[in-house]
Homo-oligomer: A and B are copies of this chain.
Amino acid sequence: MIELRPIPGLPEVEQGADLAELVVAAGAQLEDGDIVAVAQKAVSKAEGQLRDLRQVQPSERAQELARSLGADPRQVQVVLDESVRLVRTDRVIIAETRHGFICANAGVDRSNIPGGEIVSLLPVDPDASAAAIRDRLREIAGVDVAVVITDTFGRPWRTGIANVAIGVAGMAPMIDYRGRPDDFGRTMHGTVVAVADELAAAAELAMGKTDRVPAVVIRGYRLSGRFGSGRELVRPPQEDLFR
């Protein structure tokens, strides 16, 4: 059995906050082999990955895009600053971030931030964010856990958004079944399961969007042993049929 245990009672995360300490202080009883899923918004706040729109001077391009989208030109400017490539600019900006993620508004988000004029950015290096939380949890709680930083992304062809893993530490983000026999002894082809994304999706079920539960402990999922990064979950451009 796998358990998804929300960690309730975390305070509003301030810049400079020690997320590992907050998780432990909230009473999370961690065990070796647990996976701690942490929402990107909490990580970004702790890391100060925020922009004050009152200090943003929108470029002409941002103003033009904002007009066509009915958006705040200052927020569009921040989206442009966070993007290496705009993929779509109809209805919404879908952009490639410098991490290689393709998502709405390059991950720039205004919800669940105190003060209406502040937006959050994605962590600079979500794998490093995950590793830091993992290391710190070992330090203060003496446990060997994996950490997944989650964010909700839209997807082509399917309605709605779903959680994915943008940063990973202490586990393999994928399980590669290629070459293993299936139930009937035949070799499986092309089956690489993005388990870190599935763990992130599972965690979202226990987080909700408005319940102020930015962290979930996943217990009972057998990790493979290999370590990897969230970067592996980004499809290399040369393999991407949908650029």
* Chain A residues packing against B (C-beta within 8 Å): 1-6, 12, 88, 90-92, 94, 101-102, 104, 110-114, 116, 152, 155-164, 173-175, 177, 180-184, 186, 188-195, 197-199, 201-202, 204-206, 209-210, 212, 220-221, 232-235, 239-242
Contacts and interface: CB of A to CB of B under 8 A. Distances in A.
- Copies of this protein chain in the complex: 2
A111 B4 contact: no
25 contacts: A1-B206, A2-B206, A3-B4, A4-B220, A101-B157, A102-B156, A111-B188, A111-B191, A157-B242, A158-B164, A158-B197, A158-B235, A159-B235, A160-B192, A160-B193, A160-B233, A161-B192, A161-B194, A162-B198, A182-B209, A188-B210, A191-B209, A193-B204, A199-B205, A242-B242
Given A156-B241, A182-B209, A201-B202, 20 more contacts: A1-B5, A4-B202, A88-B241, A90-B241, A94-B241, A111-B188, A152-B191, A156-B240, A158-B194, A159-B234, A160-B233, A161-B191, A161-B193, A162-B193, A162-B194, A162-B201, A180-B210, A198-B201, A198-B204, A202-B202
Contacts of A199: 205
